[in-house]
A and B are shown apart, each in its own frame.
Chain A
Amino acid sequence: MKIAKTIVGMFAMATAATALSAPVSAVEWKSVTEERLLNAAKDGNDWLIYGRDYGASRYSPLDQINTGNVAKLKPLYTISLGSLEGQAVTPQVNNGIMIVAVSSEYIDAFEVKTGERLWRYEIKMPADVTQFACCGKLAKGVALWEDKVFALTLDARAIALNAKDGSLVWEKTLEDYKAGYTFTMAPVVVKGKILAGFAGGEFGVIGQIVALDSKSGNEVWKASTIPQPGEEGYDTWGKDSAKYGGGAAWLTTTFDPDLNLTYWGTGNPAPWNSEMRPGDNLFSNSVIALDADSGKRKWYFQHIPNDAWDWDSMNENIPTEVDVDGKKAKVILNAHKNGFMYTIDRTTGKFIRANSFVHTDWGTVTKDGKLDVKPDKRPGVGKPATFCPSYFGGKDWAHMALNPKTNMVYIPAEEICVKLHHEETQYKKGTMYLGAGGEIEKPGTGKFVAFDANANKVVWTVETPSPLQSGSALATAGGLAFVGDLEGYLKAYDQKTGKVLWSHRTPSGIIGGPVTFAVDGKQYVATPSGYGGAFPLWAGKGVPEHLKRNIVKGATLTVYELGE
């Protein structure tokens, strides 16, 4: 009894102390308007969109931290996010308030100057959800619009939170996660509509892209990436294979206000065994341009017909203008899993050119954008093939950054080869639909690549001990390119030379996106840390021993400032 009283007393004291020290928050939520989103590229203070701007450039106009002083960058604080899941997130910042999707477990709001948590929303998740997802409870980020924060959950829900206090405004269950439909992407809001695509290509889903009304969560339009009977492209799926055709558009779209188009990269067709789906398998492994208002398809370009390698085309398509034959051309840039950087005309979807940015041994992309594959590099049933890049890609989903002033692209890249063969499989709801086997036979390595999109060639390459599989890049007007690695280092490279000018080791591996922003005129850099995701699960012998030995799970957020 006495003990109980003491404990209650201590608890009361602790509560009082907390109340006293709680910050009187100076930061206020600033409405995220369409105008602010359209001008996000120009305003360095915030990071309002997952890819920083609608074009996903991951380029900041801030230059307070630059090649001359980055050596003085030091941690302001590191705080725990309370999770053992991989942190694939890109934190987002609005007027000094940072929103972090902590895996698919929490949505947090911090005051960035102090690291004080303003609110935390816990996402209630069914216990069996990871059974139906490829790579743990991943989440990449949120969408901000007016006074709301939108998130997509692993169990195929969309939720809307009040940005001021984290309270739930609405939630919608959009698909059956037990059939493999999951969300691992960050949504993006275009003209008041939330745009999202489901993951699940390894579970035999039908790729779906939805636009939701931000006020209610009601569906405004929906587009399927895999044609069903009667639809264009259905005849490219032999053996009735469109039924579980995959083609998930599982990464955040880019939006091109100029043409009112959204560019979606679609994933692998299912199963991996290509003999079970004779034909080109439209519109898997393609970029499809959808009208931002109606969701109608304007054009498509398929990088990989009848994919046999799991070379998804999910990667971001960054709209820009580059030099083509001495003239400026409106293009999208896509660093593909197959190891080639594609330049595509964004007005028509016509292929312009491609060039490799990592070691590729399978063949080449022809002048008209077709694949010229060496006979022994296409795996089949009873026909193993060893090829590079592997199914992790020359570039996986780790996002590149584009400096729009120089058209230099900074690519987190990988050097991994795999020995793969195909085999018969059956669709079984809730289990993976692969029909492939084999393994990565030796540890992979990584590369940070600077690619000149005007000249269509690699300018410099820095090799890294582990694949840069899912840590995204960040480029700044200060001449810096940042990227985090699986060892946990956040590094700042000189954009011109590739020289490492600064690095800092975070507590775990980095698989998310570093960001930069400014509050009250002062520039900060921040990165999530927290090892996980696909690589340690899927790579097997491809995982370098030093990672197995040294890197453990645990989610943190580190915010950096310039020291004296």
Chain B
Amino acid sequence: MFRQSTKFALGLAIAAGAQLAADCASAQQATLDRLKRTGIINVCADPDLLPYSSDKLNPAGYDMEIAQQIAKELGYQLGYIWYSTRRGTKIVRQLSDSNCDFFLGFPVDSSFEESNFKIILSKPYYSSGFAVVARADAPNTILEDSKTKGVGVQMGMLPDFKLFERGYERKLFRNTAEIFDALLHKEIDVAVIPAPEGGWEVKSKGDPNIKVLTDTEKDFVFPMAIGFRKEDKELRNQVNAIIDKMQTDGRLTAILDKYGMVKLAGTGGGVAPKSKADVEKEGGGDDDDGPPQKKSDAHDKKSQLIMRDFVNLGFMMTDKPIRVAEAVGSHPDSDEGRKIDADDPGADEHGLALNAKYRVDTTTVDDFPNDAKSIDDGRKLYKQACYKCHGPNGVSGGTIPDLRLYAGAHDHYEMFAVIQAGRLDRGMPAWNDYLTSDEIKKIVVYVKALHKK
């Protein structure tokens, strides 16, 4: 019975989607009519993700306080639709399915609009990004100085990829709390974390042992905007005007300050740039029905990284207990568990193949060694770390994934990430405390070599 009703609901949703696409104008009118009729505008937000939002509303989080101001300006009551942002696209779906009317906290990004054609963004309402945090008594607070020692990052987020690409030794963690813990226990000297969370940690706990630096890497900073359904342009334009007003009268700054927002260098003091030129450059301006603006290739590349960060930001930050493995093994477009790729012998067993598709370009094979010595080193390391479950020479006895079978279907970084952070829910341990990045790379190339045999 339960199964039937689920199917029925799914059928309805598909029908509704077709209807929406067919008649945007009336849909737009429908939203405004509904707002007027009910007097309620709904915001989607994560129930447990301070400083952004909290269903306890005490405090509500700065995004919620800004949403409250927006609702007030529009003359509506604010309704909250609490929804885990663990997977970013779930929020997109909540919006596009009209379960809520807006969401605060999308990074401004052209590729985002291209790949989420049902969503439009407001102008940026603030800028933030990733800040460097350090223990107050740490001898150095410069990232470069910890290049070999290891910089704390949250697995799967932008700094993870960026620092990896730049040859940094990273220490992977599952959330900001773990990073703070590691800082305080002197396991690491510095880390890169979402700036709002760093600011909030210091502000809410008043911890004198941690400092959040305002100076950060240039490409760790980006503007944030509010998302609406594509057809709700009128609502978006109204909100753009409210953002302008709140910037002018200082309300935005006051709310952000209340949550200890870190004023990252070069971001205009935590508040988005005001000039029209800047706004257009960042996207999300007052454009009308035309296609998304074409950006330069360089900008697109950055945008993709931000986009990926958003997706990962969605699912890495809120799940408690965090299941790293799920994050790694899930496709951002798939809500309903893992799809099975019949062509990939490993996919049904491990659910990993899909993930490779969106992370395949995060690094290249060139980052991994490819010489016989490295492969042999990898073989020895495999024996120390992997053999006891995955079997001699990668031959599984049947109860644990056979690495020879799925090695070829996944990119190197994928396997690297799984070894480093584990898939704890499925029994795969995290090896980041016991193996260096170089060692893990050697294991990866060894397993890849097995596949060819």
Residue from B380, B397, B431, B435 in contact with A539 in the complex, judged by beta carbons closer than 8 Å: B397
Please tell me which stretch of B52-60, B284-292, B384-392 contacts chain A, meaning at least 4 of its Cβ atoms lie within 8 angstroms of it: B384-392
Q: For the complex, give the distance between the alpha carbons of A551 and B422 in Å.
A: 26
Residue from B424, B431, B434 in contact with A127 in the complex, judged by beta carbons closer than 8 Å: B424
Question: In the complex, are the beta carbons of A543 and B434 less than 8 A apart?
Answer: no
Question: In the complex, are the beta carbons of B388 and A538 less than 8 A apart?
Answer: yes
Residue from A128, A437, A532, A537 in contact with B383 in the complex, judged by beta carbons closer than 8 Å: A437
Question: In the complex, are the beta carbons of A547 and B388 less than 8 A apart?
Answer: no
Question: In the complex, are the beta carbons of B384 and A536 less than 8 A apart?
Answer: no
Q: Which residues of B contact A202 (CB under 8 A)?
A: 388
Question: In the complex, are the beta carbons of A548 and B398 less than 8 A apart?
Answer: yes
Instruction: Tell me the chain B residues, 375-417 only, with Cβ under 8 Å from chain A.
Output: 379-381, 383-385, 387-393, 395-400
Nearest-Cβ distance from residue A194 to partner chain B, whole angstroms:
28
Q: Specify which of B392, B396, B431 lies most central, judged by the most chain A CB atoms within 10 Å of its CB.
A: B392
Pick 21 A–B contacts, CB within 8 A, sort by A: A128-B422, A131-B429, A131-B430, A131-B434, A134-B388, A202-B388, A428-B384, A429-B434, A431-B381, A431-B384, A432-B383, A432-B388, A437-B393, A531-B399, A536-B397, A537-B397, A538-B387, A538-B391, A538-B392, A539-B391, A547-B397
Any A CB within 8 A of the CB of B433? yes
Any B CB within 8 A of the CB of A300? no
Nearest-Cβ distance from residue A155 to partner chain B, whole angstroms:
13
Question: In the complex, are the beta carbons of A553 and B380 less than 8 A apart?
Answer: no
A429: nearest chain-B partner, CB-CB: B434
Any B CB within 8 A of the CB of A540? yes
Q: Which residues of B contact A128 (CB under 8 A)?
A: 422, 424, 429-430
Q: For the complex, give the distance between the alpha carbons of A532 and B400 in Å.
A: 10
B430: nearest chain-A partner, CB-CB: A128
How many residues in B have their beta carbons less than 8 Å from beta carbons of A?
28
Instruction: Tell me the chain A residues, 112-134 only, with Cβ under 8 Å from chain B.
Output: 127-128, 130-131, 134
Question: In the complex, are the beta carbons of A439 and B399 less than 8 A apart?
Answer: no
A423: nearest chain-B partner, CB-CB: B380
Q: For the complex, give the distance between the alpha carbons of A127 and B429 in Å.
A: 8
Nearest-Cβ distance from residue A150 to partner chain B, whole angstroms:
27
In the A-B complex, the 3 residue pairs with the closest CB atoms: A536-B397, A548-B398, A540-B395
Q: For the complex, give the distance between the alpha carbons of A134 and B388 in Å.
A: 6
Q: For the complex, give the distance between the alpha carbons of A551 and B398 in Å.
A: 9
Nearest-Cβ distance from residue B391 to partner chain A, whole angstroms:
4
Question: In the complex, are the beta carbons of A543 and B398 less than 8 A apart?
Answer: yes
Q: Specify which of A202, A431, A440, A551 lies most central, judged by the most chain B CB atoms within 10 Å of its CB.
A: A431
Nearest-Cβ distance from residue A534 to partner chain B, whole angstroms:
9
Any A CB within 8 A of the CB of B427? yes
Any B CB within 8 A of the CB of A329? no
Any B CB within 8 A of the CB of A76? no
Q: Which residues of A contact B388 (CB under 8 A)?
A: 134-135, 202, 432, 537-538
Any B CB within 8 A of the CB of A430? yes
Q: For the complex, give the distance between the alpha carbons of A542 and B381 in Å.
A: 22
Any B CB within 8 A of the CB of A535? yes
Question: In the complex, are the beta carbons of A431 and B392 less than 8 A apart?
Answer: no
Residue from A428, A536, A553 in contact with B434 in the complex, judged by beta carbons closer than 8 Å: A428
Nearest-Cβ distance from residue A101 to partner chain B, whole angstroms:
19
With A130-B427, A131-B429 known as contacts, the answer to whether A541 contacts B395 (CB < 8 A) is yes
Question: In the complex, are the beta carbons of B391 and A553 less than 8 A apart?
Answer: no
Q: For the complex, give the distance between the alpha carbons of A553 and B427 in Å.
A: 14
Q: Which residues of A contact B434 (CB under 8 A)?
A: 131, 428-431
Q: Which residues of A contact B379 (CB under 8 A)?
A: 437
Q: Specify which of A202, A434, A436, A537 lies most central, judged by the most chain B CB atoms within 10 Å of its CB.
A: A537
Q: Specify which of B379, B381, B396 lies most central, judged by the most chain A CB atoms within 10 Å of its CB.
A: B396
Residue from A423, A432, A537 in contact with B385 in the complex, judged by beta carbons closer than 8 Å: A432
Q: Which residues of A contact B429 (CB under 8 A)?
A: 128, 130-131
Q: Which residues of A contact B385 (CB under 8 A)?
A: 431-432
Question: In the complex, are the beta carbons of A536 and B400 less than 8 A apart?
Answer: yes
Q: Which residues of B contact A438 (CB under 8 A)?
A: 392
Contact with B along A437-459 (1 / 0, CB 8 A): 11110000000000000000000
Instruction: Tell me the chain B residues, 418-452 only, with Cβ under 8 Å from chain A.
Output: 422, 424, 427, 429-431, 433-435
Q: For the complex, give the distance between the alpha carbons of A396 and B393 in Å.
A: 22
Q: Which residues of B contact A538 (CB under 8 A)?
A: 387-388, 391-392, 397
Q: Which residues of A contact B391 (CB under 8 A)?
A: 537-540
Question: In the complex, are the beta carbons of B427 and A536 less than 8 A apart?
Answer: no
Any B CB within 8 A of the CB of A59? no
Nearest-Cβ distance from residue A201 to partner chain B, whole angstroms:
12
Q: For the complex, give the distance between the alpha carbons of A127 and B321 in Å.
A: 11
With A432-B387, A432-B388, A537-B389 known as contacts, the answer to whether A548 contacts B424 (CB < 8 A) is no
A133: nearest chain-B partner, CB-CB: B388
Q: Which residues of B contact A134 (CB under 8 A)?
A: 388
Any B CB within 8 A of the CB of A425? yes
With A127-B424, A128-B429 known as contacts, the answer to whether A432 contacts B399 (CB < 8 A) is no
